[in-house]
């Protein structure tokens, strides 16, 4: 297996001393979609924040490809790993959708012609062609989630990370997002409570429980043990 991201003995405590992750060891395979599941408080979101350098480990290390993620390399890592936050309003803060999608590429210092191309291509990928002039607050939740995804895709990351992408979506929104992610392919890490969504997209799955890895393996095999699934607090 070629690891896109490797996590070695990762330990993290919040500033108030609350422990969140305990010696986590994981590897996310390049070119594969991996589901990250677990009950509330398992440490999923905290782990994702570490992948883009928004949390500093108390111990252990993270490697993106062959490069160790350190404060000096955060900017490089954030270009290689793109995180789509759970709340799209955390990512859509400008008057027009096109400006939000262009924000990242412009901050990379890309030529305006390249920025325009990336915005157009990213919106087309998520099924929002022609939405450049739309106001984000006029979008449905499903459209907001896909616009947030476009913001990250415009940066052309090697690894796509999504935190609870189906939260509060209706059936149509789930289906559209799932079809979009399946078409994108590549290396994806999808943290979710939605086991059906994960099973449909991710051949590999990791179960977190109270900041530790409870299981890791093929999705069908791991989730096929109904007794363990209930024990882990998964629906």
In tens, the pLDDT along 102-154 reads 999 999 999 999 999 999 999 999 999 999 999 999 999 999 999 999 999 99
Q: Say if CB 70 and CB 81 are below 8 A apart.
A: no
Give the tokens for residue 23. Answer: 């010696």
What predicted TM-score, i.e. pTM, was given to this entire model?
A: 0.94
Which CATH number applies to 3-231?
3.40.50.300
- The alpha carbon of 66 is separated from its chain's Cα centroid by a whole number of angstroms, namely 20
Q: How far apart are CA 92 and CA 147, in angstroms?
A: 8
**Ranges of each domain in the chain:** 3-231
**Angle 177-182-184 (CA atoms, 0-180°, nearest 5)?**
95
Distance CA 12, CA 9 (A): 10
- Taking CA atoms, 142 is separated from 82, 92, 154, 169, 180, in Å, by 19, 13, 18, 6, 12
Q: What's the confidence (pLDDT) of residue 27?
A: 94
Nearest alpha carbon to residue 194 among 218, 213, 173, 221: 173
For residue 74, the model assigns a pLDDT of: 74
| HEC-encoded secondary structure of 83-131 | EECCCHHHCCCCCCHHHHHHHHHHHCCCCHHHHHHHHHHHHHHCCCCCC
Average pLDDT for runs of 10 along the chain of length 235? 91 91 94 95 93 90 87 77 94 96 94 97 97 96 96 96 94 93 96 94 96 95 91 84
Rounded CA-CA distance 157/81 in Å is: 5
């Amino acid at each position: 297996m070629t690891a896109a991201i490797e996590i070695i003995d990762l330990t993290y405590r919040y500033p108030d001393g609350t422990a969140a992750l305990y010696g986590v060891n994981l590897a996310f395979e390049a070119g594969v979609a991996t589901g990250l599941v677990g009950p509330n408080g398992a440490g999923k979101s905290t782990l994702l924040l570490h992948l883009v350098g928004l949390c500093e480990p108390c111990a252990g290390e993270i490697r993106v490809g062959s490069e160790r993620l350190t404060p000096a390399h955060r900017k490089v890592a954030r270009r290689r790993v793109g995180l789509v936050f759970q709340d799209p309003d955390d990512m859509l803060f400008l008057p027009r959708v096109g400006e939000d999608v262009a924000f990242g590429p412009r901050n990379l210092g890309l030529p305006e012609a390249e920025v325009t191309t990336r915005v157009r291509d990213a919106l087309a990928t998520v099924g929002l062609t022609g939405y450049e002039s739309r106001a984000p607050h006029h979008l449905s939740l499903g459209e907001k989630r896909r616009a947030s995804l476009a913001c990250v895709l415009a940066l052309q990351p090697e690894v796509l990370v999504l935190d609870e992408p189906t939260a509060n979506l209706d059936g149509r929104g789930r289906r559209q997002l799932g079809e979009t992610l399946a078409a994108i392919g590549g290396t994806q890490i999808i943290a979710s409570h939605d086991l059906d969504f994960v099973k449909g997209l991710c051949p590999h799955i990791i179960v977190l429980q109270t900041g530790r890895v409870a299981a890791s393996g093929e999705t069908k095999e791991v989730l096929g043990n109904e007794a363990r699934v209930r024990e882990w607090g998964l629906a």
